[in-house]
């Protein structure tokens, strides 16, 4: 079974530029997450999708971050404009989790390491 795919793996941009990340979850996984992991910290949730609907985006800086999940499969996360503090690894995860199975483990992709200069 293929894992969670993410691209690009690395991205270097200057502040105020825009950047987009792509995620393809494990086939059949209804729930998709984007996490931000700053160096030396644990991942922090940015946004959670159930199929193509947003479940939780309370920690997403909506003035600069946006995300979508078209047709309930692939997802893109965009930052516009980027700030220095956005330098981090952006992790995508997916799970079979739904209301009847709230405990399913999340499977993570390799992440995209973003450096903002």
Partner 1 sequence: AQKVTQAQTEISVVEKEDVTLDCVYETRDTTYYLFWYKQPPSGELVFLIRRNSFDEQNEISGRYSWNFQKSTSSFNFTITASQVVDSAVYFCALKGGTGRRALTFGSGTRLQVQP
Which residues contact partner 1 (rule: CB under 8 A)?
Answer: 31, 33, 35, 40-45, 48, 50, 55-56, 89, 91, 93, 97-99, 102-103, 105-111, 113
Bond into 50 cis (ω within 30): no
* Residue 99 CB neighbour total at 10 angstroms: 6
* 17 or 89: CB nearest partner 1: 89
Supply the minimum distance, in Å, between the C-beta of residue 33 and partner 1.
Answer: 6
Supply the minimum distance, in Å, between the C-beta of residue 46 and partner 1.
Answer: 9
- How far is residue 53 from each of residues 75, 92, 117, measured CA to CA in Å? 11, 16, 33
């Amino acid at each position: 079974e293929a894992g969670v795919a993410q691209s690009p793996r690395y991205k270097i941009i200057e502040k105020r530029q825009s950047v987009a990340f792509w995620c393809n979850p494990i086939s059949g996984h209804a729930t998709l997450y984007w996490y931000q992991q700053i160096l030396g910290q644990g991942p922090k949730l940015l946004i959670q999708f159930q199929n193509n609907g947003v479940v939780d985006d309370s920690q997403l800086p909506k003035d600069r971050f946006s995300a979508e999940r078209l047709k309930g499969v692939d997802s893109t996360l965009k930052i516009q404009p980027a700030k220095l503090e956005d330098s981090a690894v952006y992790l995508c995860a997916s799970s079979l989790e739904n209301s009847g199975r709230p405990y399913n483990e999340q499977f993570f992709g390799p992440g995209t390491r973003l450096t903002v200069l």
